[in-house]
Chains A and B, each alone.
Chain A
Amino acid sequence: MTTTSPLTHSEPTYVPLAARASMWHDFATIAHRAIRGVFREPEFFIPALITPVFFFVVNVGALQDFAQGSGTVQDFKAFQLPVAIIFAVTGVSRASALVTDIQSGYFDRLLLTPIRRPMLLLGLMAADFVSVILLTIPVLLLGLVLGVSFETGLIGMLVFLLYGALWGLAFAGFPYAIALKTGNPGAVNASFILFFPFAFLTTTFLPKEALTGWLSTVATYNPVTYVLSGLRSLVSDGWKADLLLQGLAASLGLMVISFGLASLAMRGRTDRG
């Protein structure tokens, strides 16, 4: 089929060839580009993969005998695998690519099109989902190779991946908010610093019962504590609905906050004020 647009564009005969597409079309268009961008930046994956693998190997090597010998943890590898997953997915986002778009002017070009504004963010989340899944699979495989087994079986492993991915997506709202607010790559890179309190002021090395003082208090309010509990339950305890729901609520709660901030930043950037 060929276009039926008139040859001349002079008013009033002009009929726009462009049209407002469906919401799904808008989402798929942005997501497709973003996912393609993920696969064209393999250099992005290497450091993102090294960090969790490094911590997993070092933590297990250094603390396994102590933790298991003291009776604090029964299987320290199983205890650490969720930590490696959290390390793999926290902070993974297309925020740097978004900043590049803002700086190059491509973001303005997107704003000039009839595409729905929220899809500019949701489409990037699709790429983030692909990224975190790609990062968690090798970590999971490493855990299996080192002898970690899942009480919840294959389905549990799948839920484990999705559960970790949900946390990754929830956290991604922060770098997006910073990217949209500042348009500055340095600020986006600096957002990685948020990773540390979330990832370390929690049950990273010891279970909640073994934490004392201020660290125990902070861990109580750190959503990662509940995400780790949920992940660990899938590995070691079987299907524990209460733990899974608590972790799910923690991820969703953080997602509401982080993407609320990102949405506000998006509105600030696109309100044409």
Chain B
Amino acid sequence: MITVMPSAIEANALKRTFGTNDAVAGIDLDVQYGEIYGFLGPNGAGKSTTVKMLCTLLGITAGRASVAGFDVATQPGDIRLRIGVALQDYSIDGKQTGREMLHLQGRLYGLSKADIVTRMDDVIGLVDIGTAIDDRVDSYSGGMKRRLDLAMSLIHRPQILFLDEPTTGLDPASRSAVWAEVRRLNDDYGTTIFLTTQYLEEADELADRVGIISDGLIKAEGTPSDLKRSIGTDLIVAEVDGDTATAAEALRAIDGIDEVQIHNNELALATPNGAGLIAQVAVALNGCGVPVRSLTLRTPTLDDVFLQVTGTHLAGDGPKDATTTESEPEQEVAS
């Protein structure tokens, strides 16, 4: 007999419409228990709307979804007991102290006094603001508020954690701290984490699997390495002035180039042997008379995947340029 384990999060043709706009246009999800699922997309792609539907804040227009085995439309109360949510904008009462907020959150989830004390001890370490925990939240920095918000979402030790762009607006040190906590929750407790982000590196760093969403639809899904491998082993990127079509035609003639994609004034060449072919690419470009601004050899990134499936780069990738490559991640995490 085969036992089928239910999924932590499941969605079939999930849709949400605002007026005539399909914010989420019919997506399928299947997130397993213990998985970190990265939901990657630009602003307005439908990430937050999806999260709000899954965590019972927003009704669904069509399709169905279940979280922790409970239907979001008919069993929202059961879901709320099992999920923690840190929404995009940290939602904290500035007139209360950090300690009061945590205590209140415990009471809101019906925890016993003893459990509140125990859990507060556990999560206060995450907030990591020393005696400021007894100061009013109004006086906190953005990073402190974000960490408190995350701690509040963990007070009842949720089985499934929804993090909606948890590091947006954070400084690199705070971002690293949040990443470390996400990993710890997953490693130590097996917490299933549904993480939305517009940061490529965040999805790459944390997610077991990534779903790329654009215009309300999931355009690609897989492990970060599988998604990148789908582009090719190596990527040669030529930024040119002039006729990209002519240049592309010349480049396609090179033996060993699997695919040539044109995005504005950029040519992306997928090949299993970048180092061996880059000289030929330079010669070919020179031969067809197209001025070359830059020629780069690198391994594919999730942004390359995003570019391939959506036709645009993913904007707003934190402090670095959207086209920044894996070869320079230190630009994003350095303080």
Contact = CB atoms under 8 A, between A and B. Distances in A.
Interface residues of A, number: 40
B118 interface: yes
Contact of A20 (B8, B58, B81): B81
A18 B110 CA distance: 6
Interface of B: 5-6, 8, 33-34, 55-59, 68-69, 76-77, 80-83, 85, 87, 89-96, 100, 104-105, 107-112, 114-115, 118-119, 152, 156-160, 188-192
Contacts of A36: 95-96, 100
A40 B111 contact: no
A115 interface: yes
Nearest to A7: B189
A8 B55 contact: no
B85 A112 contact: yes
B165 to A, nearest CB: 13
A272 B82 CA distance: 19
B34 A10 contact: yes
Contact of A105 (B58, B69, B90): B90
A11 B87 contact: no
A113 B156 CA distance: 10
A107 B57 CA distance: 11
Given A11-B6, A18-B156, A105-B91, 10 more contacts: A2-B114, A9-B190, A19-B111, A25-B107, A25-B110, A29-B107, A109-B91, A113-B105, A114-B77, A272-B58
Contacts of B191: 9
A113 B59 CA distance: 16
A272 B100 CA distance: 29
Given A3-B114, A112-B55, A114-B109, A14 B95 contact: no
A272 B56 contact: yes
B95 to A, nearest CB: 5
Nearest to A16: B81
A271 B114 CA distance: 34
Contacts of A37: 93, 95
A101 to B, nearest CB: 7
B159 A9 contact: yes
Contacts of A110: 108
A158 B77 CA distance: 42
Contacts of B189: 7-9
A51 interface: no
Given A104-B92, A108-B91, A3 B118 contact: yes
Contacts of A115: 108
Contacts of B76: 272
A141 to B, nearest CB: 28
Interface of A: 1-3, 5, 7-11, 14, 16-21, 25, 29, 32-33, 36-37, 40-41, 101, 104-115, 271-273
A36 B95 CA distance: 9
A25 B110 CA distance: 8
A37 to B, nearest CB: 6
A5 B155 CA distance: 13
16 contacts: A9-B190, A9-B192, A11-B159, A18-B156, A21-B110, A29-B108, A104-B93, A105-B91, A106-B91, A108-B57, A109-B152, A112-B57, A112-B80, A114-B77, A114-B80, A272-B76
Contact of B5 (A3, A11, A29): A11
A105 B157 contact: no
Contact of A17 (B77, B80, B107, B119): B119
B190 A17 contact: no
Contacts of A19: 81, 109-111
A3 B80 CA distance: 19
Contacts of A40: 95
Residue among A11, A33, A40 with the most chain B CB within 10 A? A11
B57 A111 contact: yes
A66 to B, nearest CB: 46
B78 to A, nearest CB: 9
